[in-house]
Amino acid sequence: SDLQKQEERGELLQPLIFVLLVLCSVLLYFKVSLMDPGFVKAEEEAKAGKSEEQSMVIAQVPSHIKMRRCGYCMVKQPMRAKHCQLCQHCVRRYDHHCPWIENCVGEKNHPLFIVYLSVQLIVLLWGGHVAWSGLYFEQSWDWLQHNIFLLMSFLLIVIFTIVVLLLLMSHLYLISCNTTTWEFMSHHRISYLRHSELENPFDQGVVLNFWKFFC
């Protein structure tokens, strides 16, 4: 049959890989959106501020800067944590609340969020290539009627690709500096950063920052 001939020629391999990437993207989406991003629990208060990274930074911060208790959920916030009013929890190494996944991006799901964006970008680029290869341009009304949906799909893919690419690049830059979106945008309002002797007390070099983030 035609299907067997295509399989023998290896023509089914690329569509199969594309479908698997799409499936992987969907599974990653649900995983990142449903998992605990790093909620601070009341029973963990005793451990707050005792990690190696936090101990290193505390030495750079004046002694009068104390870790505060959250005014919303009343737990003692570890360094780099922030309360999310949408999730109604304090989140460790809070980055931002993502409306795409309806969940916070924090200590536990941030690395997986980067993997999700990477897979999503590959799918969009591949889909854009497929859509573009199916377009042939003619200056006629009939051509537009027959290709309007394909053209709109291509334009949407281009828009989403640009958004995902910019988002991924910005996150990779922040990871290379060992900072978060919240810390980057609100540096002047965060006491342990505003009063620190260093501009970014968490930065340990690009290689080590990436290693500690992903590993």
Q: Which residues contact 103 (CB under 8 A, 6 or more apart)?
A: 32, 33, 34, 35, 37, 87, 97, 109
Q: Between vectors from CA 77 to CA 73 and to CA 81, what angle results, nearest 5°?
A: 105
Q: Which of 174, 166, 167, 168 is nearest to 210 (CA)?
A: 174
Cα radius of gyration (the chain): 23
Known active-site residue 98: yes
Question: How far is Cα 149 from Cα 14, in angstroms, rounded to an integer?
Answer: 23
Strand 103-105 versus strand 89-91 pairing type: unpaired
Residue type, 124: L
Q: Between vectors from CA 33 to CA 29 and to CA 34, what angle results, nearest 5°?
A: 115
Q: Which of 70, 73, 87, 98 is catalytic?
A: 98
Q: 37, 108 in Cβ contact below 8 A?
A: yes
Strand, coil or helix: what is 91?
strand
Residues annotated as part of the active site: 98
